[in-house]
């Protein structure tokens, strides 16, 4: 999963306790990015909000790539072609209507009401008309037992509630996958490219507790 916006500020050792680096991430995200590429033209300008270890933005194919995170150390994980912006949600200072795609993974569940509003206000401003918002989130329908074990979670979404939220913000929901990925990289599933690629081809994905929502502005 990607990083969040507030947890490192609130809890200095959040990354050490909940979000430890795993070398297998790159292999898994290579397969995930290949799957998501269908929604992202290779000429697109893409923004990854809460980029963390930059797993997505480093491997997605795009014309221009930007990563935003409040953890200044995140830039160490950026590939050379990725432009890193150290900022919180409210302070993202990038040109309006300059992105074809905005991506966020495991971010919204950490946002309080005002922060969630800021996130969508920024997305509204930064996306071009017809641009795509891609969200990967825990789906509370399938992970309710372990969901609150992360002490930085402040809200929960299902595939229905998150879809409704996008519609309320003026987006057209073009794809909903209620079961997309396992809950976390602490999953017992092997972290390999080929197994992840095969997993994403399954009509029913065992242990999948995260969802994929794609909206069009």
Q: Who contacts 198 (Cβ-Cβ below 8 Å, separation ≥6)?
A: none
Annotate 126-151 with DSSP letters as a single string: HEEEEEEEEEEEE-HHHHTTTGGGST
Which CATH topology does 7-209 take?
Answer: Rossmann fold (3.40.50)
Q: What is the pLDDT of residues 39-69, one digit of tens each?
A: 999 999 999 999 999 999 999 999 999 999 9
Mean pLDDT of 198-217: 96
Predicted confidence at residue 188, as pLDDT, reads 54
User: Helix (H, G, I), strand (E, B), or coil: what is residue 30?
Assistant: helix
Distance CA 212, CA 176 (A): 6
Q: What is the pLDDT of residues 119-160, one digit of tens each?
A: 999 999 999 999 999 999 999 999 999 999 999 999 999 999
Taking the model in full, what pTM does it have?
Answer: 0.90
- CA angle 5/64/104 to nearest 5° reads 25
Annotate 56-101 with DSSP letters as a single string: HHHHS--SEEEEEES-GGGGGG--TTEEEEE--GGG----TT-EEE
pLDDT at residue 186 greater than cutoff 70 = no
Taken in order 119, 129, 166, 38, is the CA torsion positive or negative? Answer: negative
């Amino acid at each position: 999963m990607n990083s969040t916006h507030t947890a490192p500020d609130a809890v200095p050792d959040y990354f050490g306790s909940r979000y430890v680096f795993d070398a297998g991430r790159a292999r898994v995200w290579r397969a995930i990015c290949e799957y998501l590429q269908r929604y992202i033209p290779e000429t697109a300008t893409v923004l990854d909000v809460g980029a963390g270890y930059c797993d997505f933005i480093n491997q997605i194919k795009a014309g221009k790539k930007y990563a935003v995170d409040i953890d200044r150390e995140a830039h160490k994980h950026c590939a050379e072609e990725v432009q890193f912006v150290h900022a919180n949600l409210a302070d993202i200072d990038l040109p309006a209507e300059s992105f074809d795609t905005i991506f966020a993974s495991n971010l919204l569940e950490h946002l309080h009401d005002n922060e969630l509003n800021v996130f969508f206000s920024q997305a509204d401003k930064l996306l071009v008309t017809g641009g795509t918002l891609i969200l990967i989130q825990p789906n509370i329908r399938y992970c309710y037992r372990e969901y609150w074990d992360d002490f930085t979670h402040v809200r929960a979404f299902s595939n229905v509630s998150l879809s409704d939220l996008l519609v309320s913000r003026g987006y057209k929901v073009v794809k909903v996958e209620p079961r997309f990925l396992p809950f976390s990289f602490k999953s017992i599933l092997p972290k390999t490219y080929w197994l992840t690629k095969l997993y994403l081809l399954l009509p029913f994905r065992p242990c999948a507790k995260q969802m994929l929502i794609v909206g069009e502005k």
